[in-house]
Amino acid sequence: MEKRVSEQFEYWLNDPYFDEDTKKELLAIRNDEAEITDRFYKDLDFGTGGLRGIIGAGTNRMNLYTVRKATQGLANYIIANGDPARGVAISYDSRNMSPEFARETALCLAANGIRAFVSDTLRPVPELSFALRTLHAQAGVEITASHNPPAYNGYKVYWEDGAQVTPPHDTGIIADVNKVTSYDSVKTMSLSDAKAAGLYEEFGAKIDDLYMEAIKTQIIHPEVIREMADEIRIVYTPFHGTGLVPVTRVLRELGFRQVFVVPEQAEPDGNFTTLKYPNPEDPEAFTLALKLAKEKDADIVLATDPDADRLGIYAKDTKTGEYIGFTGNMSGMLIGEYILRERTAEHTMPEKPAFVTTIVTTNLARRIAEKYGLHYVEVLTGFKYIGEQIKLFEQEHSYNYVFGLEESYGCLAGTHARDKDAVVAVMMLCEVAAWCKKHGMTVWDQMQNIYREYGYYKETQYSITMKGITGAEKIKDLMNSIRNDPPKNFGAWKVEEFRDYRTGIVTETATGEQKPTGLPKSNVLYFSLDNDAWVCARPSGTEPKIKFYMGVRGTGLDDSAKKVQELTDAVKAMLPKD
C-alpha cells in the first residue's frame, strides 16, 4: 500500500475530527487493500463542474468532509472575487445524502460569513439556476449527480449569471479548492447558530410560483392546448427524482387533463429502486413508462432525470402502434423547429434572434436556424457555455437568445434559467404534441416531416471506459495519439477540416491553411467530414471515459442508420486494439 494511502487511511480512522460512522465504515474495509487504495489514492477531483463521485468514506469519495472542504475553497474564492453579502443559493435532488450535503455546504458558507439561501425541499437544477438569479445571489450550488447510478452524488457550482461556472471563475474556484489541503482549516458552525446570525435562510413556495410564471411565458399557442387538452394523452415519469412536482404542476395549470404519472417511479428515492440507471438515454429505464403508455394509449411518453435537467421521450407511431424512442438531438430539434416556425408565423420572434448549440450537437440545428434567419452559435460541449452566451448577448446588447440545445438530452427555451431545463422542455414538447394532434399527426410524424425537409440527420456515440489510477493516463495518451497523427479519412469519409480545441487551431486538410477556432481552449478534437458528416473526440468531464461523437446525413431513415454505423465502425478501426 502506498505511503499516502496508508497515512490518509490511518488519519481518517483515528483522528477525532471524523465521526464514528465514518470510522466504522473504514474498519469494515480494513483488510481490502484495493478498496482502501481506491478511496484514498487521491482527493476527489474538483473539476470545472464541481464534484462528482461515489458516496462513502475517504478522500476520493463524496462525504460530509469532502463536501465541506470543497465549500471552504468556494467560500475563499467568493470572499476574494465576489460579494459575500449577496450569499449563495443551494438546492438538492433526491439522491442519498443530498439534504445532508446541502446543509453541510450551507453551514460551511455561514461559518465564513456568507449567507446561504437553502431550498426547503428537493428542487431541480433549472429552478436553482432561476432561484439564484431571482435572489441576486453571488453563486449557487446544486447537490446532484444528474443521471449517474445510485452510488453517486455530486456538487455543481453556479455563478451569479445562473450558469455553471465558466472561465475565469471555474479555474479560479478549482485553484482555491486545491489550496485547502488541511481539514483543520475548514470552517463550519451549527444550524442554530447560523440561523441566529441570519446566515441561513430557506426559500420555497414563492420561488416556485415565480418559476412557474416565467416558464409559462414560453407557450406560443395556449388556445391549441385548451382545444386539445382532453385529446392528448401523456405518460410521465420523474425517475424517482425532482421533476414530479414542477412538471405535473405546469401541465395542470396549462390545462392538460390526460396526464398519467408512472406510480412506481413517482416518489423520490435515492436508490432508484425500479431502475438500473436513472438515465433518459437508457431504453431500459422506460420499461414501466411504456407499459403504462400502452395501457392508456398515450400519444407521448416523457421522462426527466433525477435533477430534471434532461428530457427523454417516446412517441407513438400510429402506423405500427409501437413507441419510437427519440435521441436528445431529435427531441431538441422537434421543440426548436416548432418554436422557430411558430414564432416566425406569429410575428413574436424577437429582433436579432439567436440559436445556440454545442459542437457535438446535430448539424440539423444549423439548417433549421438558417431557414428562419437566426444567428447561429456553436460552443464547447457543456450547457454552461450556452448559458454563458445568454449572458454575453445581454451584456453586449447584440442578440436575443431564443433556444439552445445539446445532444445529451438537454435544451432551454427562454432565459429564465441558464442551464438545461427539462421542466420547460416537457411543457414545450406537450404543446408540440397538442399542435400535432390538432393537425392529425403524432410527434413522430412531425419528426419525419422535419427530416424530409432538411435531411435525415443521425448521430451516435461510442465510449471507452478507463477506470482506476491508470485510466486517466490512458485517456491522455489516446487523445495525444489522435492529436499528433490525425486521420485523413474515416472509412469512406474524407476529413475536410481538423479542429484541435486545445491548441485553438483549425486546419484545412486540402490546403493546410490554418485559422483559430474562436472558442476557449479545451481538450477536444473535431473532424469535419465530407457529405455533412463529422467525428468528435473528448474525455468526459464527469466519468472515467473518452467519448467519440459521430454524425451523418442520409437520404432516409435506413440510409442514415447504415451510414452512422459505418462511421462508428471506422472510428473503432482507428483505435488501439488493446
Residues assigned a catalytic role: 146
DSSP characters for 360-381? TS-THHHHHHHHTT-EEEEE-S
Encoded amino acid at 459, one letter? E
CA distance 358 to 448: 23
CB under 8 A, 24+ apart: contacts of 186-191: 186/65, 186/68, 186/69, 186/71, 186/72, 186/108, 187/72, 187/75, 187/108, 187/111, 187/112, 188/68, 188/104, 188/107, 188/108, 188/111, 189/107, 189/110, 189/111, 190/107, 191/103, 191/107
Q: How many CA atoms lie within 13 A of 535 on its CB side?
A: 30
Q: What is the spatial order of strands in the sheet that 311-316 belongs to?
A: 259-261, 234-237, 300-304, 311-316, 323-326
**SS3 category, 278:** coil
CA distance 491 to 570: 5
Q: How far is CA 421 from the centre of its chain?
A: 9
Q: How far is CA 150 from the centre of its chain?
A: 17
- Residue 320's Cβ-count burial label (10 Å; 0-12, 13-18, 19+) is exposed
- Residue 294's Cβ-count burial label (10 Å; 0-12, 13-18, 19+) is middle
Q: By C-alpha distance, which of 117, 75, 114, 69 is closest to 92?
A: 117
DSSP 28: T
**SS3 category, 304:** strand
DSSP 434: H
DSSP 86: G
C-alpha cell at 250: 405546469
Determine how β-strand 234-237 pairs with β-strand 259-261. parallel
Omega within 30 of 0 (cis) for the link into 263: no
Give strand pairing partners of 460.
Answer: 550
